[in-house]
Amino acid sequence: MKTTTISFRAHKNLKSWLDYAGKGFDSEGELPRLIITREAVEQVNDTGIAGMVKGLLRRERAADIGDTAVYAVRLPEQIAALVRECAARRGKTTSEWCASVLMAWWQRFRDGYNELDGKVDLPKYATDYRALVEDLLSVYAQKGNKQGITG
């Protein structure tokens, strides 16, 4: 399977949260890859006016360069194309879209972390997150086959 790497800038404090949450995953890059993949597959179904409205409502202020770090995610070429499509639909660069996806993940993860008083079962989190993304990819593939989409 051919892959491509997408690099982008996001808030530098995300690294510590990705490192922490990533302890249950097989490699350092697995969690960011799954986060980006999940969001791309979920957003690809947002079409027409609904997708445009969501894009307009999600205008975040970009972090200053000094507050950012460079991140990179290796993705299958088909998923990278979905990422670019999702970014374009929302009037963002690929880098802006990826950064906003990671920030949204961080907010959800941090909220769950706080609700559990920091007692997160990281191996279970990894297993559940992997299963969620695999299920989403399976549904996406089935829809693609029904619509005659090939990858």
Domain count, the chain: 1
Give the span between the Cα atoms of 36 and 114, in whole angstroms: 23
pTM: 0.82
The answer to the question of residue 107 being in a domain is: yes
Domain of residue 105: give its range.
3-146
Structure confidence by residue, pLDDT tens digits, 137-150: 998 888 765 554 44
- The predicted-structure confidence for 30-41, as pLDDT tens digits, reads as follows 999 999 999 999
Q: How confident is the model at residue 51 (pLDDT cuts 50, 70, 90)?
A: very low
151 within a domain of the structure (yes/no)? no
